[in-house]
Amino acid sequence: MSAAPAPAHPPSHALPSRFSQFYALTKPRVVQLIVFCAFIGMVLAVPGLPSGPQWALMAVACAGIWLVAGAAAAFNCLVEQGIDARMKRTAWRPTAKGELSNTQTLLFSAALCAAGSALLYVWVNPLTMWLTFATFVGYAVIYTVILKPLTPQNIVIGGASGAMPPVLGWSSMTGEVGPEALILFLIIFLWTPPHFWALALYRVEDYRKSGLPMLPVTHGNEFTRLQVFLYTLILFAGCLMPFVYGMSSWIYLAAAIVLGAGFCLYGFWLWRDYSDQLARKTFRFSLIHLSLLFAALLVDHYVL
């Protein structure tokens, strides 16, 4: 007997569900950090414990920011599908694998952006909606389309979009952008280059294949390592600003000093004795640094 013909398509259980494919486009782990930083901005903007209506407003604002951030991530996947397909770190994305069409991805991004913007405009305030939409344009268009393929300083300039979440959180509760929100913006803005360049150092071959002018590709490993170290020093000073300005006290100061010193040490070790393993550890510590730093701001706000 002849063998049974192979099925035209693989079994459905072998493929990711359509929901999981669309969900993957939103880069959930990145968006979770964005919403967390925005939430910290919301909490810090409210003196004392929030009231019931304020908690409800925070929930709506977080949902709106999540939707627009997810839309920006999906649009990024659409624009960079060719680049993603050439990089091990991103080759699994549904757009890179051709599991979702350009039309599907574009419509999904537009729907999320429209829903999030409407939520913010109607139930939060117009300023937060426009700031969030400007962040979408800054990341999805200015950074992804223009800066990323053009200059090795892409992550520095484009980092302004990634630093916006606490500003969005602050404006959602106050209807304005105060100096405290700008200090939080500065911290994330200074944190972004050493965080991302640590990743780029051990993923340099991926970026070289992709054709993107990332700093380790254009200026080499040693120069990038020095930049990581120098940025950790600048970041250390920037992280002291909440205490200097008076928006936090000794609890945050202690956390900022310990975490900042740890990041500087990683930066120094990376500069003096490089290894891919150390670059990975530096990248992972950068995530811990930012998360614990903002958590310390939250604890400080309620304890003292």
Residue pair 77/108 in contact by the 8 Å Cβ criterion: no
| Residue 4 in this model has a pLDDT that exceeds 60 | no
> What one-character-per-residue DSSP string does 23-35 give?
HHHT-HHHHHHHH
- At 123, is the pLDDT very low, low, confident or very high (cuts 50, 70, 90)? very high
Sign of CA dihedral 14, 20, 26, 27: negative
Count of other CB atoms within 10 angstroms of residue 32: 12
Tokens encoding 215: 């700093």
CA distance readout (Å), 59 to 64, 119, 172, 260: 9, 11, 11, 31
Q: What backbone phi and psi angles, to 5 degrees, belong to 46? A: -110, 115
Cα–Cα distance for residue pair 94/76, rounded to 1 Å: 12
Grouping H, G, I as helix, E, B as strand and the rest as coil, residue 304 is: coil
Instruction: Please report the pLDDT score of residue 16 as a whole number.
Output: 63
Q: What is the DSSP letter of 7?
A: P
Rg (CA), the chain: 21
Cα–Cα distance for residue pair 116/230, rounded to 1 Å: 37
Percentage of the chain beyond pLDDT 90 is 67
Q: What is the mean pLDDT of residues 76-96?
A: 83
Instruction: Please report the pLDDT score of residue 148 as a whole number.
Output: 77
Cα–Cα distance for residue pair 36/292, rounded to 1 Å: 11
Tell me, what amino acid is at 28?
A: P
Residue pair 12/20 in contact by the 8 Å Cβ criterion: no
Residue pair 209/86 in contact by the 8 Å Cβ criterion: yes
Percentage of the chain beyond pLDDT 70 is 94
Mean pLDDT value across the chain: 89
Q: What is the mean pLDDT of residues 52-69?
A: 96
| Residue 11 in this model has a pLDDT that exceeds 50 | no
- At 6, is the pLDDT very low, low, confident or very high (cuts 50, 70, 90)? very low
Tokens encoding 289: 């640094």
Give 131-160 pLDDT, tens digit per residue: 999 999 988 888 888 877 788 888 888 788
Per the document, the length of the chain is 304
Cα–Cα distance for residue pair 203/216, rounded to 1 Å: 9
Instruction: Please report the pLDDT score of residue 85 as a whole number.
Output: 82
- At 268, is the pLDDT very low, low, confident or very high (cuts 50, 70, 90)? very high
Instruction: Please report the pLDDT score of residue 3 as a whole number.
Output: 40
Token look-up 């484009």 returns 158
Cα–Cα distance for residue pair 190/233, rounded to 1 Å: 10
